[in-house]
Amino acid sequence: MTRIDESIESIIAGVIRRNRGETEFHQAVCEVAETLGPVLQKHPQYAEHKIIERICEPERQVIFRVPWQDDRGEVQINRGFRVGFNSALGPYKGGLRFHPSVYLGIIKFLGFEQVFKNAITGLPIGGAKGGADFDPKGKSDSEIMRFCQSFMTELYRHIGEFTDVPAGDIGVGAREIGYLFGQYKRITNRYESGVLTGKSPHWGGALVRREATGYGAVYFVEEMLKVRGQGLEGKRCLVSGSGNVAIYAIEKLHALGARVVACSDSDNVVVHPQGIRLETLKRIKEVERRRLADYVVEHPDAERLPAGTLWKIPCDVALPCATQNELDEDSARTLVANGCVAVGEGANMPTTPGGVRVFMEAGVAFGPGKAANAGGVATSALEMQQNASRDTWSFEHTERRLHEIVRNIHRDCYETAAEFGSPGNYVIGANISGFRRVAEAMLAFGVI
Ligand code: GLU
C-alpha cells in the first residue's frame, strides 16, 4: 500500500467514524475516494489542503419538524432535511426526495453524489439534497398540498436563487414543486422563479426538464456504444422503475430504435416482449397515479413477474432507473451471462459496489449515475438560465443543449479516464473529473 492509499483509507475510516450508521453515505464516499489516488499523486496540493476531507463534510445540514394534518384531521409529523453539501462552483443545487426510507444517511449520500455530478456538467452549480421521510403513496391531493406547504414553511428561510435551489427527486414532481413554489412565493412576497427547478412549463419551468434525466441517460449509453462501434438500433433493453426517469428513458430508447422489453415498480416487473407501450405506462403512472400491475390488465400479452426478477430477463442494454442498490453482484453476473453489453445508471447509485466490479471485470460499458443521469440536473441549470434572463426556450433548442452537454460529459469522462491510465473506465473518469473541478475552486477560495 502506498502512502497515498493509506491516507485515503484513513480518510474513509474517519468518515465512517464520524457519520455512524449512515451506510449509504459511507458507500458513496468509498466509491469516490477509492478512485482518487492517481489525482492526489498528480496534484499533491489537494492532499496538503485536505480537499477530500473537506469535500466529505457537508457545509451545512438542516433537519426540521414537518407537522401537517391528514384528511381525517389527525396530526402527522415527519422529518424534513436539507443538506448543502458544497457550494464551491455555484449555489447549492439538488432535488428533494419524499420517501419513507429517507433519513440523514440517504440525503447525505445523494448530496455527496450531487456535488460531483453537478461539477461534471460544467455548469455553475454546487451540490445539495433534501427531502422528508413522508410517504406520498396513497395520499390525497390535499394531503400532498398540506405537507408541501408545511415543509416549505421551514425550508424557505434556507433557500434562494443565489443560495440553494431545490428540485424534484423520488416522490417529488411538478405537482409537488407547484405547491412548494406557491408557499415560497406567498411567504416571501417574491416571484423568485429561479428558487426551484422542475416547475411546470406553464409558469417558469423549462421544457425538457421532465424528460431530461431519462433522455440524458440514453444519450450517454449511445455515446458509450459509439466508442465501441455500436448503436442502440435493435437493442433489447431493460429499464427498472416506472417513474419520471424510467418513462423518458423508455421514450428515447424507442425513438432511437431500441426495444424496451420490461420495466418495474417496487411491487412488480412487467414484461412486454413486443415493447413496453408508452401511452399506457404514461397514463397509468403520470395521469392516474396507479400501480404498474394495472398495465397487464390492459395488455394481456404482457406478463407480470414478482419484484426482484427484472435483471434475469435477457437483454443487450440495462438502465437501472429506480433507486439505490437495486442491482447487486448476482444480478450483474446474470446480466453479463445473458450478454448485456452496456449499463447506464439513470438512478443514483443503483448498482452495488460488487455489481460495479462485475461489470468492470467483464468489460461491460458502464456509465455511473454521476455521469449518466447528469442530464437532469444540467437541464435544471438551463431552467435557472431561462429564469434569470426572463426567457423561455423551445423544446428543440433545449433538447439540443441537453444533448450537447451529455456528449461533453461523456467525452470529458472518457478523456479523464485515459489521462489517468484507465481507458474506458467511466467510474474513474467521472469521479476524477468532478473532483478536480471542485478541488480547483476550493483551493482558490482558501480555507473556508
Ligand atoms: N434529483 C435529480 C438528481 O438526482 C435532479 C436534481 C436537480 O435537478 O436539481 O440529479
Q: Which atom of ligand 1 is nearest to the CA of 374?
A: 10
CATH superfamily of 210-372: NAD(P)-binding Rossmann-like Domain (3.40.50.720)
Q: Which atom of ligand 1 is nearest to the CA of 166?
A: 9
What distance in Å separates the CA atoms of residue 64 and residue 80, rounded to the nearest whole number? Answer: 5
Atom 8 (ligand 1): residue with closest C-alpha?
377
60-204 and 210-372: identical CATH topology: yes
pLDDT of residue 372: 98
Lining residues, ligand 1, CB within 6 Å: 93-95, 167, 169, 197, 348, 376-377, 380
What type of residue is 276?
I
Q: What is the CA radius of gyration of the chain?
A: 21
What distance in Å separates the CA atoms of residue 401 and residue 403, rounded to the nearest whole number? Answer: 5
Of the residues 93, 108, 117, 129, only one is catalytic, namely: 129
**Substitution candidate for ligand 1 out of 92, 199, 213, 324 with most atoms within 8 A of CB:** 213
pLDDT of residue 120: 98
What distance in Å separates the CA atoms of residue 120 and residue 433, rounded to the nearest whole number? Answer: 6
What residue segments make up the domains of the chain, in order of their start? 3-55, 60-204, 210-372
Tell me which H or E stretch contains 261: strand 259-264
Distance 121 CA to ligand 1 centre (A): 12
Mean of pLDDT over the chain: 98
Handedness of CA 372, 375, 378, 384 (dihedral sign): negative
Distance 1 CA to ligand 1 centre (A): 37
- Give the model confidence (pLDDT) of 76-106 as tens digits: 999 999 999 999 999 999 999 999 999 999 9
Residue 397 neighbours by CB under 8 Å, 6+ apart = none
Tell me which H or E stretch contains 259: strand 259-264
- Give the model confidence (pLDDT) of 179-235 as tens digits: 999 999 999 999 999 999 999 999 999 999 999 999 999 999 999 999 999 999 999
What distance in Å separates the CA atoms of residue 321 and residue 239, rounded to the nearest whole number? Answer: 6
Contact 264, 270 (CB under 8 A): yes
The segments of the chain whose pLDDT lies below 50 read: none
Laid out side by side, the sheet with 75-86 consists of 60-69, 75-86, 127-132, 92-98, 164-167
Q: Which residue has the cell 449511445?
A: 222
- Give the model confidence (pLDDT) of 66-82 as tens digits: 999 999 999 999 999 99
**Is 370 designated active site?**
no
Handedness of CA 168, 171, 177, 181 (dihedral sign): negative
Contact 348, 322 (CB under 8 A): no
Q: 3-class DSSP state for residue 125?
A: coil
Extended strands (E) in 267-403:
268-271, 303-306, 317-320, 342-344, 365-367
Distance 177 CA to ligand 1 centre (A): 13
pTM: 0.98
Distance 169 CA to ligand 1 centre (A): 6
pLDDT of residue 180: 98
Atom 9 (ligand 1): residue with closest C-alpha?
94
Q: 3-class DSSP state for residue 127?
A: strand
Distance 42 CA to ligand 1 centre (A): 31
Among 3.90.245.10, 3.90.79.10, 3.90.1720.10, 3.40.50.10860, name the CATH number for the domain at 60-204.
3.40.50.10860
What is the greatest pairwise CA distance in the chain? 63
Nearest CA to 98 among 162, 28, 171?
171
What distance in Å separates the CA atoms of residue 299 and residue 302, rounded to the nearest whole number? Answer: 6
pLDDT of residue 1: 77
